[in-house]
Amino acid sequence: MKAVYFYQHGGPDVLEFGRVSTPEPGQGYVLVRLRAASLNRLDLWVRQGWPGIKLEYPHIPGADGAGEIAVLGAGVSGWSIGDRVVINANLSCGSCDYCLSGFENRCRKWGLLGETQRGTYAQYLALPVVNVYPLPAEFSYEAAAAAGLVFHTAWHSLIQRGQVRRGETVLVVGASGGVNTASIQIAKFAGARVIVVGADARKLALAESLGADVLIDRSRDENWAKAVYQVTEKRGADVIIDNVGTTFPQSFQAAAKGGRILTVGNTGGARFEIDNRFIFSKHLSIFGSSMGTRQDFAEVMELVFARKLNPVIDRSFPLSDARAAHEYLEKGEQLGKVTLRIDDD
């Protein structure tokens, strides 16, 4: 099969496009003929590597994808060859205490497609049948691939962990990334008032088009925590979605008493100082999470298929141009998701 892979960590130039052997689906697995994939920042980090990361080479990146079932492995029932599917990248054992209590994303043997196993930048992918979800005929492979990881992650964070409720004020720190554009829509869907802090007018215009109620341009108003106070009658935000990390000091300032800070990542860097006095004196809670449960995936993808939540796609590249797609994502100027088309040759 054709695939994009690498043998060593580094910049986008380590990505190669060529032929590798097509995987075979084992017991309980299916082989999916992928038609689209989408990029996540995770793909860049895996490509760059970090101390202790162990990959099986050649490593194929990619967590998100959609296509149709090509081969059924032994013991798989309820599916047919040709069934359209979208992929849930969260890999779990299915038998540990966390899996049995429905928290597959806390699995003791947790893994992620494209990180701990070969991923979706390929014509074919073998994966457990529990990791595919039915894709309606009228919904495009590209939009499904663009929605998967970011909506799954944002849904678990806002709805399961953060319990965002109608009438609350939600502050989203960052306007244009995949998880943030999903979070804005999910917060609106939950009935919240949404404030977005963004880097420039272009990114804020996207947030507004997704339903954001209040826009704060941090290029013009550096002290955005104060701005949040002003637009909430000096109360602060009930829920703050902060996946930047280094902005936690401002997020603590912008939080209402009893506020919840939700985080699924740290695009600004992993280590930063926090002032603990904010946490106890304002009764703050910090909720971390990663990916989502199988139940979350089903719930949020049904809303995506019903077009109540809409993935934002910036640009599409053919699979053979994955290197250019990585370079584009690394520049950070995209508005929404960058996707890959996976053709027959």
Stretch near Zn ion under the rule CB under 5 A, chosen from 40-48, 84-92, 260-268, 286-294:
84-92
C-alpha–C-alpha distance, residues 269 and 27, integer Å: 40
Shortest distance (Å) from residue 111 CB to Zn ion: 10
Segments in the chain forming alpha helices (H): 41-48, 97-100, 141-155, 178-189, 201-209, 224-231, 248-254, 276-281, 294-305, 322-331
| Structure tokens given for 343 | 């053709």
Residues 20, 71, 76, 93: which binds Zn ion (CB under 5 A)? 93
- Answer yes or no: are the C-beta atoms of 320 and 101 closer than 8 Å: no
DSSP-derived secondary structure for 168-200: -EEEEE-SSSHHHHHHHHHHHHTT-EEEEEESS
Size of the site for Zn ion (CB under 5 A): 5
| Alpha-carbon 312 to chain mean position | 12
Nearer to Zn ion, 14 or 96 (CB): 96
69 binds Zn ion, rule: CB under 5 A:
no
Shortest distance (Å) from residue 139 CB to Zn ion: 30
92 binds Zn ion, rule: CB under 5 A:
yes
- Answer yes or no: are the C-beta atoms of 1 and 123 closer than 8 Å: yes
Nearer to Zn ion, 41 or 106 (CB): 106
- Of the chain, the end-to-end C-alpha distance in Å amounts to 9
Mask of contacts with Zn ion, 99-128, x by CB under 5 A? x-------x---------------------
181 binds Zn ion, rule: CB under 5 A:
no
Shortest distance (Å) from residue 333 CB to Zn ion: 39
96 binds Zn ion, rule: CB under 5 A:
yes
Nearer to Zn ion, 188 or 294 (CB): 294
Nearer to Zn ion, 60 or 107 (CB): 107
C-alpha–C-alpha distance, residues 182 and 179, integer Å: 5
| Structure tokens given for 82 | 């040709």
Nearer to Zn ion, 93 or 205 (CB): 93
Phi-psi region of 157 (alpha: psi -120 to 50; beta: other; left: phi over 0): alpha
Shortest distance (Å) from residue 98 CB to Zn ion: 5
Shortest distance (Å) from residue 26 CB to Zn ion: 18
Stretch near Zn ion under the rule CB under 5 A, chosen from 2-10, 89-97, 154-162, 234-242:
89-97
Binding site for Zn ion (CB under 5 A): 92-93, 96, 99, 107
